[in-house]
Amino acid sequence: MPTPLTPPPQVAAVHRDRGDACPGSLRLHTADDGALARVRVPGGVVTVEQAEALAAVARWGDGDLHLTSRGNVQVRGLDAGRGPELAGLLDAAGLLPAPGHERVRNVVASPLSGLDGGGEREVRPWLTELDAALCASPAARELSGRFLFALDDGRGDVAGLGADVTVRAAAGGAALLGVGASREVLRLAAGDAPRAALLAAEEFLAAAGARAWRVAELGTAPEALLNAVGERLAGAGIAWARVPAATGRAPEPAPGAAGTALCAHARFGRITAVQWRELIRAAARGAGGELRLTPWRSVVVPAAGLDAAGRATALADLAATGLVTDPASPWPLVGACVGRPGCARSHADVRADAARALTGPAPGSDGPAPGASDTAGPAPDAALPAGPASGAPTPDAPVPGGPAPDAPVPGAPAPDVLAPRTPLPLYWSGCERRCGRPRGPHLDLVAVPDGGYLLTAAGDGPSPTVALSGPSGLAAALADLAP
């Protein structure tokens, strides 16, 4: 019988006895493959000019851009001595508007807002106002680099990402302000939403001091913080009413066309220079002048300037670079941590194994896809990365952000591995830390030291554990796990 995995700990009261070491553009993190820079991109929005700047930065590192679970960008493999040059380039591109606040500009926003006719209202004005308010607030400088804001246009996509402060558009020109996992929210006028979100974050700081970085770490019910936020809003002249939180959720944008936009998914969140160049080209042709990076490691391209034929051509061009544009593709359901060889804690090259499980052996071969293996062992020659206690960038880690093939993995996709067996995301982890795993129900595949994986269904209730010797056994393991 396989040993059941230890479930991820439930966060209770946390007392931090050190400063937040979350990386940024000015504070680089030393990883096994060089220095790592995390560029905050509020709402995931980058102009074509800013995208060009990020392309230049990527050339100083491993050549690629790595999307994170918050719609930010990481650059890996940098020379630590290029920090000042990096800051100068980002500042000139408008990606570093407030150096003292650069790590706290963590804002996710509904990526299709204003592009597909969905939602209750366009959230871009909220995003612009909140980012400006954050950068102007002396108190906000003390927020952790892990603190997260979410601006949902009412469809319920980013509202389910576990943000510390969530603003969700509602009917009748209203907004719903929530903190953490509170089951109640404050209904207020939409025009007050950005200011209310900042005041909520400042109230969190007053309650947390230096002992907690996120709302869930306070050790008290989020409703208690909501009470205090309500008092602060009333003192600021913002009227509100307490109501139940909205529960509807919308899925992430599917690859392909959506309204006047295009959506392309990046396998494992890694975008090569060729792919990024084609995304910039599509943004320029689409007359939107921007890209929107999503928390699901995809890129939305506003393309109102293209007709249906033009959008089809643009999608074909993106697909030719290896980006996923087929809405039926199983790839958006698959995620993985950095894995081996980028992380010495990992017991497997999880991304290669995940790719093999999804695509099968390369054409004309009885063996695995390039770089994949059916067994996993330690990587003795890799340096041990810092864990959470020493400031490793796990909450916003670019999953994955280590080495990966630049070209699409050979082999025909095998969607029957994932669907219709399960609609749940499948996440591969190199060790029990499960860095970057998704929130909510998903399938957990965790590599074990003696080779192979343990599969469980992560959710609210207990789940059996199924052992598999390697990625080729995934379909059978999923069948065993099914009720």
Locate 83 and state its tokens.
């920090």
Q: Which residues pair with 291 in a beta bridge?
A: 46
| Letter string b/e over residues 368-406, b meaning 16 or more CB atoms within 10 A of that residue's CB | bbbebbbebeebeebeebeeeeebbbbbbbbbbbbbbbe
- What are the phi and psi torsion angles at 318 (to 5°)? -65, -40
**Plot region of 244 (φ>0 → left; ψ -120 to 50 → alpha; else → beta):** beta
Name residue, tokens 């590599």: 447
Q: What is the mean pLDDT of each run of 10 residues along the chain (483 residues)?
A: 38 52 88 89 98 97 94 94 95 96 97 97 98 97 96 97 97 98 97 98 92 93 96 98 95 96 96 98 94 97 96 98 96 90 87 86 38 30 28 37 35 44 82 86 93 89 87 86 71
Q: Which residues contact 326 (CB under 8 A, 6 or more apart)?
A: 255, 256, 319
The per-residue pLDDT for 480 is: 81
**What is the dihedral sign for C-alpha 252, 256, 261, 264?**
positive
Locate 220 and state its tokens.
């008290």
The per-residue pLDDT for 418 is: 52
**Rounded to whole angstroms, how far apart are CA atoms 465 and 455?**
6
The per-residue pLDDT for 159 is: 97
The per-residue pLDDT for 415 is: 44
The per-residue pLDDT for 115 is: 97
Spatial contact of 430 and 378, defined as CB atoms under 8 Å apart: no
**Rounded to whole angstroms, how far apart are CA atoms 335 and 435?**
11
Q: Which residues pair with 294 in a beta bridge?
A: none
The alpha-helical segments, DSSP class H, found in 209-334 are: 222-235, 273-285, 308-320
Q: Which residues pair with 186 in a beta bridge?
A: 177, 242
Task: Give the residue among 270, 431, 268 at the shortest CA–CA distance from 344.
Answer: 431
- What are the phi and psi torsion angles at 481 (to 5°)? -80, -25
The alpha-helical segments, DSSP class H, found in 377-437 are: none
Using DSSP, state whether 415 is helix, strand or coil: helix
The per-residue pLDDT for 344 is: 78
Task: Give the residue among 275, 471, 448 at the shortest CA–CA distance from 371.
Answer: 471
Q: Which residues pair with 467 in a beta bridge?
A: 454
| Count of all residues that appear for the chain in the document | 483
Peptide bond into 138 cis (omega under 30): no
Spatial contact of 351 and 404, defined as CB atoms under 8 Å apart: yes
Task: Give the residue among 402, 354, 379, 401 at the shortest CA–CA distance from 449.
Answer: 379
The H-or-E segment that residue 301 falls in is strand 298-302
Nearest-10 crossing angle of helices 193-208, 222-235: 120
Using DSSP, state whether 37 is helix, strand or coil: strand
SS3 content of the chain, % helix, strand, coil (to 5): 30, 20, 50
pTM of the predicted protein model: 0.85
The per-residue pLDDT for 360 is: 63
| Letter string b/e over residues 48-86, b meaning 16 or more CB atoms within 10 A of that residue's CB | eebbebbbebbebbbbbbbbbbbbbbbbbbbeeebbeeb
Residue 476's CB: how many other CB atoms inside 10 A? 11
- What are the phi and psi torsion angles at 7 (to 5°)? -65, 150
Within 63-148, strands assigned E span 65-67, 73-78, 107-109
Spatial contact of 314 and 286, defined as CB atoms under 8 Å apart: yes
Residue 244's CB: how many other CB atoms inside 10 A? 10
